[in-house]
Amino acid sequence: MAQTVVLGVGGGIAAYKAAALCSLLTKRGYSVEVLMTANATRFIQPLTFQSLSKHPVIVDTMNEPAPQEIAHIAIADRADLFVVAPATANLIGKLANGIADDMVSTTALAVTAPMLIAPAMNVHMLAHPAVQMNLEVLRARGAVIVDPGSGPLACGYTGKGRLAEPEDIADVIAALLARKVDLQGRSVVVTAGPTVEDIDPVRFLSNRSSGKMGYALAEAALLRGATVTLIHGPTSLAPVVGVKMVPVRSTEDMLGAVQAAVSAADVLISAAAPADFRPRERLEHKWKKSGGTPTLELEPTPDVLGTVAANKTANQVFVGFAAETRQALEYGRDKLVRKNLDLVVVNNVLESDAGFGVDTNRVTLVGRDEADEMLPLLPKHEVANRILDKVVDFFNQANEQP
């Protein structure tokens, strides 16, 4: 039986691209049911979507084509995925704040399936704090946001705001609908972000880790059925809905949190970048320039991964990261053996598109019993799934042993 994609079309010039998306999804074998806002019909006629989807298109919430059912409830129940494309600023605001005054937003409140939102609007509207806040609210609820592309916009501006290409949206839809649940019943602990070591009440030592890779791993593990604990240092990222979030500050804090969580875990993925050094003594008050130049004496912080890996059991899978600036593979292989790990993810943080704070990564997966696997530049959520594929392989191999 074909999976059902409910496509909500907002009232923007990019609505014509939604017709191309509808066509692509139908050709790929999905059943597509289209809902439109009234303003969307000013850009493209419902008959276009009806011809492409072979289903009635509903605009008015008071239009009930089948007397035996309530349309917005029945459609919501049939949805395997709810897609809003294009999502205007107005429609995003409604979805974030639970406003239901048209067929798209009303059905959205009744949907229990995952939601994908593809924004499209003027570059300044997209950057407005209200729109960004609404998108963060939707992300926090678990919605997948397909970021708009950059280029010439219908309003005459050039910048970020044009609807992602239909082929790209269709690929994300396919990935969401085909996602694996091969970690069902597994407990996964992920560490993410930097740690902070205080010098005085206003200054600290830290690093440039954003936490994006760890958060991507936590989200991917959750989608694959795992129970996930995310132990994270200070980041600006929205919480991952459905994941147990454990905030920490110092490396010592992170070690304690990991030790508390890992004994009951099947998997530990150490994607955090804990600070390696801390001041030997923390100043009680802010150091003033008038006091001269201070001498900062450092000492090593605890080795979080090394400490917990020393007690690793045969049934657990431990994954480490090696973020290096030179001899990355050599250091990664050393870390694999020295810390008794099953896999090390190696990358060179000097690469501008694969270091800290970006949405992509270029890594090499270093294991014990097989050749290194070099991955091309990929979005971090895809890198996360490649890592989890390896984790699942470890469990499968263990089950096959006599």
Domain harbouring 231, CATH code: 3.40.50.10300
Instruction: Identify the weakest region by mean pLDDT among 125-139, 146-160, 213-227.
Output: 146-160
**Residues forming a β-bridge with 8:** 35, 84
Find, among 117, 22, 115, the residue nearest to 76 by Cα. Answer: 115
Alpha-helical (H) ranges within 82-155 are 89-97, 103-110, 123-127, 129-140
More confident residue, 354 or 259: 259
Of the three residues 177, 207, 238, the one that is the final residue of a domain is 177
Closest CA to 116 of 89, 77, 83: 83
Q: Tell me how far apart the alpha carbons of residues 382 and 378 are, in angstroms, rounded to a whole number.
A: 6
Let me know whether 127 and 215 are in one domain: no
Residue 279 · residue 296 · CB < 8 Å: yes
Task: Check pLDDT > 60 for residue 233.
Answer: yes
Is the pLDDT at 316 greater than 90, yes or no? Answer: yes
| Residue 88 and residue 46 share a domain | yes
Structure confidence by residue, pLDDT tens digits, 35-74? 999 999 999 999 999 999 999 999 998 888 877 788 899 9
Of 177, 203, 229, which closes a domain? 177
Catalytic option among 20, 70, 110, 155: 155
H-helix segments, 268-379? 304-309, 328-338
More confidently predicted of 92 and 332 = 92
For residues 367 and 385, what is the distance between their CA atoms, to the nearest angstrom?
Answer: 16
Q: What are phi and psi of 80, to 5 degrees?
A: -90, -20
Same domain for 229 and 112?
Answer: no
Pick from 81, 157, 91, 83: which is nearest to 118 by CA? 83
**Residue written as token pair 């801390």:** 278
Percent of the chain at pLDDT above 70?
A: 99
The pLDDT, as a whole number, for residue 253 is 97
pLDDT value at residue 381 = 87
Closest CA to 308 of 341, 274, 278: 341
Check: CB of residue 112 under 8 Å from CB of residue 76.
yes
Range of lowest pLDDT (195-204, 249-258, 288-297): 288-297
Last residue of a domain, one of 127, 146, 177: 177
Q: Are residues 21 and 115 in the same domain?
A: yes
Q: What is the 3-state secondary structure (H, E, C) of 294-311?
A: CCCCEEECCCHHHHHHCC
For β-strands 378-379 and 360-361, DSSP reports them as antiparallel
Q: Which residues pair with 119 in a beta bridge?
A: 87
Q: How far is the CA of 370 from the CAs of 169, 323, 328, in angstroms?
A: 35, 21, 18
Predicted model pTM: 0.63
Domain span holding position 345: 187-282+292-400
Asked whether residue 124 carries a pLDDT value surpassing 60, the answer given is yes
Question: What is the pLDDT at residue 145?
Answer: 86
- Structural domain count of the chain: 2
Q: Is the peptide bond before 86 cis (omega within 30 degrees of 0)?
A: yes
**Is 144 part of any domain?**
yes
Same domain, 314 and 357: yes
155 is catalytic: yes
Domain annotation covers residue 287: no
Helix or strand holding residue 183 (H, E): none
In CATH, what number is assigned to the domain containing residue 131?
3.40.50.1950
Q: Assign residue 142 a region: left if phi > 0, alpha if psi is -120 to 50, beta otherwise?
A: left
Beta pairing partners, 14: none
Residues 248 and 137 in one domain: no
Indicate the pLDDT class of residue 394, thresholds 50, 70 and 90: very high
At residue 281, the pLDDT reads: 87
The model's pLDDT over 318-346, given as tens digits with 9 standing for 90+, comes to 999 998 878 888 888 999 999 999 999 99
Average pLDDT over the chain reads 91
Q: Is residue 230 part of a domain?
A: yes
Pair 321, 236 in one domain:
yes
Say yes or no: 146 and 191 in one domain. Answer: no
SS3 8: strand
Please check whether residues 28 and 71 belong to one and the same domain. Answer: yes
What pLDDT score was predicted for residue 144? 82
- In this predicted structure, what is the pLDDT of residue 296? 86
Nearest to 337 by CA among 302, 304, 367: 367
Q: What residue type is 103 in one-letter code? A: M
Q: What element of type H or E holds 116? A: strand 115-119
- Whether 25 contacts 173, CB under 8 Å: yes
What does the DSSP 8-state code read for residue 289? G
* 182 occurs within a structural domain: no
CB 358 within 8 A of CB 337: no
Contact assessment for residue 116 and residue 84, using Cβ atoms and an 8 Å cutoff: yes
In this prediction, residue 120 carries a pLDDT of 95
